[in-house]
């Protein structure tokens, strides 16, 4: 399994109220518009400065589904490559590990882990995961590369193919 996402830390920078009709949430590279609600405005004022992913999760927890859906749409556009879902689910099914499946459905956890090589923790026995920054050669874009598979998988060959 492999996912490549644009490497961004988007922060909630500002909340604008437009004539008590709309709330505009300003992020580093995006804006989100919501219908005005005084209680929502007061709530969001306290969250200025947090990461966009944190705000998305908080929005779902407190019932701000319009905000959650709009932020989710932004994140769904950030994946440049996603391959091997079937392999990941086959491993999870074989290991009968529902927690593992849940973790991978919430793929924003990739942003919360440090670059490195993983054999334990969220990774099931007999598997490994690699997370690292990579630079796209055609436009100097920095991306997060996350790969997961069985230890016996040929990761070196895979990385050489990706590099090309």
The SS3 call for residue 142 is strand
CB atoms under 10 Å from CB of 85, counted, come to 11
The answer as to whether 1 is a domain residue is no
pLDDT at 21 over 90: yes
Compute the distance between CA of residue 86 and CA of residue 101 in angstroms, rounded to an integer.
11
Q: Which helix (H) or strand (E) holds 14?
A: strand 12-18
pTM attached to this predicted model: 0.61
Same-domain check for residues 19 and 44:
yes
Indicate the pLDDT class of residue 153, thresholds 50, 70 and 90. Answer: confident
* pLDDT tens digits, 24-51: 999 988 899 999 999 999 999 999 999 8
> Which domain does 133 fall in, by range?
80-163
* pLDDT tens digits, 102-150: 666 665 667 778 889 998 877 888 889 888 888 877 777 778 888 888 8
* pLDDT tens digits, 50-106: 988 889 889 999 999 999 999 888 877 667 777 777 887 788 778 777 777 666 666
- Is the Cβ–Cβ distance between 9 and 34 less than 8 Å? no
Same-domain check for residues 152 and 92:
yes
- Is the Cβ–Cβ distance between 32 and 11 less than 8 Å? no
Q: How many domains does the chain have?
A: 2
- Mean pLDDT for 156-160 is 75
Same-domain check for residues 92 and 58:
no
Same-domain check for residues 85 and 157:
yes
């Amino acid at each position: 399994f492999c996912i490549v996402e644009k490497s961004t830390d988007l922060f909630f920078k500002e909340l604008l109220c437009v004539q008590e009709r709309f709330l505009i949430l300003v992020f580093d590279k995006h804006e989100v518009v919501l219908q005005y609600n005084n209680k929502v405005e007061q709530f969001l004022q306290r969250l200025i400065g947090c990461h966009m992913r944190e705000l998305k999760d908080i929005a779902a927890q407190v019932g701000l589904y319009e905000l959650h859906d709009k932020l989710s749409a932004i994140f769904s556009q950030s994946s440049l490559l996603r391959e091997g879902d079937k392999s990941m689910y086959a491993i999870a099914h074989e290991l009968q590990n529902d927690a593992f499946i849940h973790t991978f459905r919430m793929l924003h956890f990739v942003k919360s882990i440090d670059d490195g090589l993983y054999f334990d923790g969220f990774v099931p026995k007999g598997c490994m995961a690699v997370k690292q920054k990579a630079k796209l050669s055609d436009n100097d874009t920095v991306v997060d590369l996350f790969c997961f598979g069985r230890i016996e998988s040929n990761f070196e060959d895979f990385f050489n193919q990706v590099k090309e």
